[in-house]
Amino acid sequence: MRTVPAREMGGWRVLGQVWGAWRRGPGVRAVPSASGFGTEAGHQLRPRGSRNRSRPRGDQPFPGLLQLENLGRKELVDVLRAAVVDQKGKPGELTLVSVLPELSQSLGLRDQELQVVQASGKETSGLVLLSSCPQTASRLQKFFIHSRRAQRPTATYCAVTDGIPATSEGKIQAALKLEHVDGVDLVIPVKSPSRKDFQEGVKRTLSHFRVLAMGSGCALVQLQPLTAFPSQLQVHMLLQLCPVLGDHAYSARVGTVLGQRFLLPAESTKPQRQVLDEALLRRLCLTPSQAAQLPLHLHLHCLHLPGVRPREAPMKLLAPLPPYFSRTLQCLGLPSLPAGKRGVGGGMNLPSDLNE
């Protein structure tokens, strides 16, 4: 892993690729850094070689996955520092937020504090956007909020699902609530919510999905959330009876009888390790015990950001897939993730109704 110094351009930093999943708290999985963000509107993060990738497949079933128990505070700071691809402009718990002060010192920011502006969920791979400038962070947050209100997606995720959606693309709308069950926060869909439900924390959520490819009973799906809610994309795919591969929190809610899938009551279904059929395990070259540790195959692939200055064209960041994600696609005979168009303000190929 090699660190390439990023350039000072307005107080914000893009943390490169977040790979794999923490088992305890938010995690970061790093890609070798690359400078040059801001020199063109479309910027592709390109992974370089890794020693771990040369290991035999049996020894490394999920290449690129970093686990918390293998890292100390210094190692995590080093991973984060190496993952900064450019810059512009809970006590005692080892998480991304907890090491931001050390990361700030490691990057030579002195008294400037880093804060998370945009990030995927704790089990999700992809881009993380940090800022050391309060004004820039505020501007970016307003941009994301305004985009959501205008139903303009700024983030594109890719997922591998266990199962194939009934339609090739569409919108998923659901009312969701967060409940604390047996010491765990879980998201539960609410049918026909009342006004009182919304007053008590139920939120309307919306995502657009598109099937990019399918094979071996699985699908590569593009997801664009138009609202923000914890585990929104995982639950939305669950409602399509196609849980995300590696979803050990919600996949148990999908039952099967005579080959037909159906939803089990969320309130009475406890989280458990995802169970995959024997044919899929063979395709993935995994044992049942390895499948129980399968990382969540949900990746924040693209972020759209405003220009550095008000009149500058918007920019797009692209993060390559983690090695274990690419390996899964190869095993399933699915194509690699499209890089998308490069250039000013575009490249997401949105359906017309999302651009209005």
What is the pLDDT, as a whole number, of residue 351?
30
Distance between CA atoms of residues 206 and 233, nearest Å: 9
Distance between CA atoms of residues 171 and 205, nearest Å: 10
What is the pLDDT, as a whole number, of residue 113?
83
> If pLDDT is split at 50, 70 and 90, which confidence band does 136 have?
confident
Contact of 294 with 246, CB cutoff 8 Å: yes
> Strand (E) positions, 64-201?
84-88, 115-119, 125-131, 155-162, 169-181, 184-190
β-bridge partners, 130 = 13, 116
> If pLDDT is split at 50, 70 and 90, which confidence band does 325 have?
very high
Q: CB pairs under 8 A, 24+ apart, for 91-94?
A: 93/24, 93/25, 94/24, 94/25, 94/68
H-state helical runs in the chain: 73-83, 100-106, 134-149, 195-199, 232-239, 278-284, 288-291, 323-332, 352-355
Distance between CA atoms of residues 234 and 122, nearest Å: 12
Give me Rg for the CA atoms of the chain.
20
Among 3-12, 90-99, 291-300, where is mean pLDDT lowest? Answer: 3-12
Contact of 223 with 207, CB cutoff 8 Å: yes
The 3-state DSSP class for residue 108 equals: coil
Q: Decide: pTM greater than 0.85.
A: no
β-bridge partners, 257 = 260
- The model's pLDDT over 205-257, given as tens digits with 9 standing for 90+, comes to 999 999 999 999 999 999 999 999 999 999 999 999 999 999 999 999 999 99
Distance between CA atoms of residues 298 and 63, nearest Å: 15
State which of 23-27, 125-129, 152-156, 339-343 shows the largest mean pLDDT: 152-156
What is the pLDDT, as a whole number, of residue 278?
95
- The model's pLDDT over 173-184, given as tens digits with 9 standing for 90+, comes to 999 999 987 778
Q: Any idea where the domains of the chain sit in the sequence?
A: 12-154+304-355, 157-291
What is the pLDDT, as a whole number, of residue 172?
97
Neighbour tally for 262: CB within 10 Å: 10
Relative to beta strand 315-318, strand 42-44 is parallel
**13: left (phi > 0), else alpha (psi -120 to 50), else beta?**
beta
Neighbour tally for 85: CB within 10 Å: 25
Distance between CA atoms of residues 82 and 16, nearest Å: 8
Percentage of residues of the chain with pLDDT beyond 70: 72
Distance between CA atoms of residues 17 and 179, nearest Å: 30
What is the pLDDT, as a whole number, of residue 8?
33
Q: Does position 26 have pLDDT exceeding 60, yes or no?
A: no
Hey, what are 56's tokens?
Answer: 């035999």
Among 232-236, 263-267, 326-330, where is mean pLDDT lowest? Answer: 263-267
What is the pLDDT, as a whole number, of residue 28?
32
What is the pLDDT, as a whole number, of residue 160?
98
Averaged pLDDT score across all residues of the chain: 77
β-bridge partners, 158 = 222, 299
Percentage of residues of the chain with pLDDT beyond 90: 46
